[in-house]
Structure 1
């Protein structure tokens, strides 16, 4: 089966699984997932599964990428913050949808490769840095949207990130200290405060501060 046929099959699967936003589907269609995985996994690039990308990390399942992006409700004038660049795949999808993307990754070697891939795709509206994603990027705040790709273990939304969310802004983040009890949560900020909406169960690695400690990154839907 050709790459194009595999991509069409994946898009059909995403639609059947609840991805209805045509802009999100269009962005996923335009991002060549095969360049974000090692060559040995190219034949699985359009399967709906997480795949290894080195350093014990993975590229997330396409359904998770699509659903979280859809939940973020990204507009083409939005400034977006992503916590956890990883392979750069989610960043490439977001960059197709927003005005400007700022992305932070703990593992600098992963970030370097991700930036090379984005440059290869001629995506120029992404600014990236290696650092502690739990602190956000206060110098660039406020953001209209924030997407976090690791699980926050607290009960409440991480204040350092919600403080950087503009009024009317949305943050989508996995929450829960136990992997089998995590849920993707959407926070909306209004003049009245922060509104919370629980969405669906997932499994993510924890959102960790400071330097990497050899943690493995994976994400898939329950």
Structure 2
């Protein structure tokens, strides 16, 4: 996976590469999909509505662009069974995985315990509201395609922190542009920067409200 997918997608960060090698992705997917855990195929977890795991090469590139540092506090939104947060856990001081599906949150907690990740925590709650009790965060990663309605999440980003997400203008889209939103100064506004084209599962929690048409 690392040699054929990750490195070929401009993921040169050795720390990210090492985490992709060390974390067993098969424990985060449904048992029937274990044989496909390291492929670049779309993997859908059993839930209602169904949830896709972001492809390894897209997730690794996001983590590279996040420039995670030792000692930082991180939040993964739409963390599902905890794979992204497990990767992040080895690169920062602590990480919170948030999901609005309580079954996913429970599976993430169990997976963290299985891997001995004492600095990873799983919480359940509405995605759009973030994890205010755990804030502020140096970095927030939204794991899916959204329309960029991140108001409460921006409020949980620490001074000079950043938020990364895949954003599309279309409701329910599975393709978009990976974006980095950087808070340039203490209490300041966020500066957006487009990074690369990306695909992932759609996140309805961050859809724009419908506009009234005369």
Give the structure-2-normalised TM-score: 0.86
DSSP-derived class of the 2:40 partner: coil
DSSP-derived class of the 1:66 partner: helix
Q: 1:11 is matched with which residue?
A: 2
Higher relative contact order (CA 8 A, sep 6+): 1
Matching of residue 199 in structure 1 with residue 200 in structure 2: no
Which digits, 9 at most, give the CA deviation of each residue in 1:122-158, with x for residues without a partner? 111112211112111222222110000133324xx62
DSSP-derived class of the 1:140 partner: coil
**What is the aligned residue count?**
198
Which digits, 9 at most, give the CA deviation of each residue in 1:146-186, with x for residues without a partner? 000133324xx622111211122111011123226621110
Deviating 4+ runs (over 6 angstroms): none
Matching of residue 26 in structure 1 with residue 18 in structure 2: yes
Structure 1 residues not aligned, in runs of 5+? 1-9, 210-222
Q: 1:164 is matched with which residue?
A: 156
Q: 2:64, 2:204 → 1: CA distance?
A: 21
Structure 2 residues not aligned, in runs of 5+? 207-214
Q: 2:101, 2:29 → 1: CA distance?
A: 16
Give the structure-1-normalised TM-score: 0.83
1:25 is displaced (CA, Å) by: 0.4
Which digits, 9 at most, give the CA deviation of each residue in 1:33-86, with x for residues without a partner? 111122222222111223122112222211011011111111111000111111
Give the CA RMSD over aligned residues.
1.7
Q: 1:134 is matched with which residue?
A: 128
DSSP-derived class of the 1:186 partner: strand
